[in-house]
Structure 1
Amino acid sequence: MFKFDFDIDDAEDLTDLGDLGIIEETKTSIEDTSKPILEHFAELAVHHLLDSIPQLISYSPLHVPLSSSRKTTTLVRRDLFDARFQLISEGAGDNVDGGPQPDDDGDKNAQEQKDVDRKALEYLDAPSDLVPGVYEGGLKTWECSLDLVDYLDGLKDEVGFEGKKVLDLGCGTGVPSMFIFREILDSIEPNSAQIPSPTEVHLQDYNASVLQLVTLPNFLLTWYTSIHADPYRYSINDTDAAPTIIPNTAGELPITPELKDAFLSSLKLLNITLRFFSGSWDTLNPLSTAGSSGYNIVLTSETIYRTDSLESLINLMQTACTGKAPPTLEGLVSSLQVTDPPTTPTKKSEYLCLVAAKVLYFGVGGGVSDFLQAVESQKGRVETVLERKAGIGRKIMHVSWS
């Protein structure tokens, strides 16, 4: 377990993963030193995630500095303290030792969810921002995700996000993808006779509780602040039950069955598909989630801090971008021939793969140098497209493969 040696204000939970020291706690048992069993891939249905949101959530503005003339852009995200309050109010902190054992599937499912919630509460209350292989820091917003928003803001007119397949790896609070989602919503005219191009935004985080507590609520809030939520507000005609959100102001939003239905119906009308995946990178197969065409945009932020996970991350990014799994040694050997057969040129898929990271993560061992070496060892290329040199250096890197 690693501890980042600083305090975090829940109201402004922007976190810097590289500026301060990391304390490795003393391991005193076999369990502490054993390698954790990694969580397997699972898809979480949007309607199930919606049903896990309480009847009222609080939110605050997140101001993102931009290099453009707009200077800042504002996103709305769920408060971290509100997620913690949800866990406590649902009994995640209750002591269950010696309690009755569940005797049917419904009770077992409820107990499993309670166990997940209890672990999430432990993450929030623990003096640690990372427990490798157990909790990967997704409940908090990390600094490089704001850099990624800044860079995407400069690309939006050139690239365009509508009609794309987007994958956010290690998404956490989902800030860069929230920005993309908002831009997609803004680009679609309401009540247009033209059917919008099909757009997919896929979000992956190691911890299912992160997707439940912050990622999906943040996307719901992003939609609610758009013009596409106006029909719902007009139909309710009650400013208490369906208030107008002012992005620069903190507030609360009632979560009603009508709101959930309106959100799902709006996504369908706008031809937008949101999908949420939990589990380790080793168990996520992008060929099954995006098909052989792969993703148009792959994003990841503050995920290269552990050198032992770089290979699985890079393999996943390469497959997600190219629609082809990286070649194995066995495959290369079996494909060798005395004379190579003629090949038909294929059209190269266009994709955008961006990695935002600190130059160095003190105490953990990872950083840009190790990442660069790992990508180049797999015949990839890395180009720095944005760099911040103040304090601990930060970079956004464009990654591509031949």
Structure 2
Amino acid sequence: MAFRFNFFIDEIENNEPDTHDKTDAQLGSPKDKQESKEKSKQTAETLADSSPRLATDKHQDETPSEKTICLKAAKEHKIPEDLNKVLENKVVETVSDLYYVNQSVVEMMCLDGADEEGIVSKSVSSRSDLIPGVYEGGLKIWECTFDLIDYFSEAEIQFTNKKVLDLGCGAGLLGIVALKGKAGKVHFQDYNSTVIEEITLPNVVANCLNEGNRVGNSDDRKTSKPPSKRLKKAECLPDMLTKCRFFSGEWSEVSKLLLSSSKPFSKYDIILTSETIYNPDYYSALHDTMAQLLDKNGRVYLASKVYYFGVGGGIYLFEDFAVERNVFRTSIVKVIDEGLQRCIMEMAFKDSS
């Protein structure tokens, strides 16, 4: 189901997007977990040895901690007073009861001048979804996002009254799930300000307005029928949206911004992150940011592919990096064998309860 917002919903189309089939691959005994991990590591090593190295792989022989990254300045994005403007001319679709703006429409708008960073034109000209230090893929929804959403339900992760950070949020679906799970605060961070302004913020607004203006009956929603009424104009901030803050910039810079604020900063109970460990260049900044912002008894839930072609990162390389740092204890809590093998990792401080 998709529809175009122009102050309110004025068009509905029946083109519910297909999502990848999702099956569970729960781990069993400790022996099973170890065998699965060893098999996955061997697969990743084989892929790494056999795959061609791209330009982004030029530092592959260095350790992740030795690499430097672009320190893109951090910025907080204020929620506009007129929420209807946020969704104006956006085409919004649904998946798993979540609203998100159509990427292709946003890209066309950005090519027409809505993208001050120029990341869309650069992505198109380079024919790449990733340009290190310029564009980090936030306009797309990557499949590990859905793996992690599934895991929330399977593991019965509780968000009620928790302070949550969606790190490297992109579309922000993980944070939106936390919001719908009655989290106390949800903050969203992405490298690119264009992603926050044109993708994340509209997605959060669309979901918050939908929660605040429930339309149709429950049977309609279960059968994916279009809403029977238009969403009303937003005249004030929905309660859910008052729980949100939005940031762009490189991880360590965002961490500095939060920790140096004149207002007291309360650390996060839960940090959610998906498809953020594809590039070993970023491991140090990501690890240190989580270490600085996570509450002493908090949890990180990280979703990743076992190996990322051309860039060289992956779940077990990052796990080894975390072990060397000796700050977090890590656990692979789920393996998804469908397609490219993917994993869910849970992280907590070694001295946490």
- Fold match by TM threshold 0.5: yes
- Alignment-mate amino acid for residue 259 of structure 2: L
CA distances 1:165-204 after superposition (whole Å, capped 9, x unpaired)? 10011100112112222232xxxxxxxxxxxxx8210000
Alignment match, 2:188: 203
Alignment match, 2:213: 229
Match of 2:162 among 155, 161, 164: 164
Structure 2: which 5+ runs fail to align?
1-16, 21-43, 57-67
Q: Check whether the contact 1:36–1:134 (CA below 8 A) recurs between aligned residues.
A: no
Structure 1: which 5+ runs fail to align?
1-10, 27-34, 63-72, 93-112, 185-197, 235-243, 323-348
Alignment match, 2:259: 287
**TM-superposed deviation, 1:81:** 1.7
Larger Cα-atom Rg: 1
Taking the aligned partners of 2:123 and 2:103, their CA distance within structure 1 comes to 12
- Alignment-mate amino acid for residue 279 of structure 2: R
**2:304 counterpart of 1:357:** yes
Q: Check whether the contact 1:169–1:298 (CA below 8 A) recurs between aligned residues.
A: yes
Alignment match, 2:92: 59
Alignment match, 1:134: 134
- Alignment-mate amino acid for residue 54 of structure 2: E
Match of 1:43 among 65, 76, 79: 76
Alignment match, 2:279: 306
Give the alignment's Cα RMSD to 1 decimal.
3.5
Taking the aligned partners of 1:12 and 1:119, their CA distance within structure 2 comes to 26
- Alignment-mate amino acid for residue 248 of structure 1: S
Taking the aligned partners of 1:395 and 1:161, their CA distance within structure 2 comes to 21
Relative to structure 1, is the Cα distance of residues 396 and 115 closer, same or farther in structure 2, using a 3 angstrom cutoff?
same
Taking the aligned partners of 1:399 and 1:363, their CA distance within structure 2 comes to 26
- Alignment-mate amino acid for residue 83 of structure 1: V
CA distances 1:59-78 after superposition (whole Å, capped 9, x unpaired)? 2222xxxxxxxxxx332211
Alignment match, 2:116: 115
Alignment match, 1:396: 344
CA distances 1:134-176 after superposition (whole Å, capped 9, x unpaired)? 10000000011101101112344xx532311100111001121
- Alignment-mate amino acid for residue 132 of structure 1: P
- Alignment-mate amino acid for residue 204 of structure 1: Q
**TM-superposed deviation, 1:249:** 5.9
SS at match of 1:377: helix
Relative to structure 1, is the Cα distance of residues 393 and 291 closer, same or farther in structure 2, using a 3 angstrom cutoff?
farther
Taking the aligned partners of 1:249 and 1:138, their CA distance within structure 2 comes to 29
Alignment match, 1:317: 290
Q: What's the TM-score, normalizing by structure 2?
A: 0.71
**TM-superposed deviation, 1:388:** 0.8
- Alignment-mate amino acid for residue 351 of structure 1: G
Relative to structure 1, is the Cα distance of residues 22 and 172 closer, same or farther in structure 2, using a 3 angstrom cutoff?
farther
Taking the aligned partners of 2:120 and 2:222, their CA distance within structure 1 comes to 30
- Alignment-mate amino acid for residue 283 of structure 1: E
Q: Check whether the contact 1:84–1:124 (CA below 8 A) recurs between aligned residues.
A: no
Taking the aligned partners of 1:49 and 1:279, their CA distance within structure 2 comes to 24
Alignment match, 1:75: 98
Q: Check whether the contact 2:69–2:282 (CA below 8 A) recurs between aligned residues.
A: no
Relative to structure 1, is the Cα distance of residues 119 and 275 closer, same or farther in structure 2, using a 3 angstrom cutoff?
same
CA distances 1:33-67 after superposition (whole Å, capped 9, x unpaired)? xx8743111111111795763523212222xxxxx
**TM-superposed deviation, 1:354:** 0.8
CA distances 1:88-141 after superposition (whole Å, capped 9, x unpaired)? 4xx32xxxxxxxxxxxxxxxxxxxx7533x433443565101001110000000
- Alignment-mate amino acid for residue 183 of structure 1: G
Q: Check whether the contact 2:188–2:246 (CA below 8 A) recurs between aligned residues.
A: yes
CA distances 1:328-357 after superposition (whole Å, capped 9, x unpaired)? xxxxxxxxxxxxxxxxxxxxx431211110
**TM-superposed deviation, 1:229:** 1.9
CA distances 1:350-394 after superposition (whole Å, capped 9, x unpaired)? 312111101111111111121111111221211011111233211
**TM-superposed deviation, 1:284:** 1.8
Relative to structure 1, is the Cα distance of residues 362 and 277 closer, same or farther in structure 2, using a 3 angstrom cutoff?
same
Alignment match, 2:244: 274
Match of 2:54 among 24, 39, 50: 24
Match of 2:173 among 148, 171, 175: 175
Alignment match, 1:338: none
Taking the aligned partners of 2:223 and 2:203, their CA distance within structure 1 comes to 13
Matched residue count? 289
Relative to structure 1, is the Cα distance of residues 359 and 150 closer, same or farther in structure 2, using a 3 angstrom cutoff?
same
**TM-superposed deviation, 1:246:** 8.6
Equivalent runs, 1:5-20 vs 2, <5 Å: none
**2:346 counterpart of 1:374:** no
Relative to structure 1, is the Cα distance of residues 13 and 387 closer, same or farther in structure 2, using a 3 angstrom cutoff?
closer
CA distances 1:228-286 after superposition (whole Å, capped 9, x unpaired)? 224xx89xxxxxxxxx98993689x9898x42x33x1x22xx58421111010121225
**TM-superposed deviation, 1:288:** 4.6
**TM-superposed deviation, 1:310:** 0.2
Alignment match, 2:6: none
Alignment match, 1:297: 270
* Percent of aligned pairs with the same amino acid: 30
Match of 1:248 among 217, 224, 229: 224
Q: What's the TM-score, normalizing by structure 1?
A: 0.63
SS at match of 2:195: helix
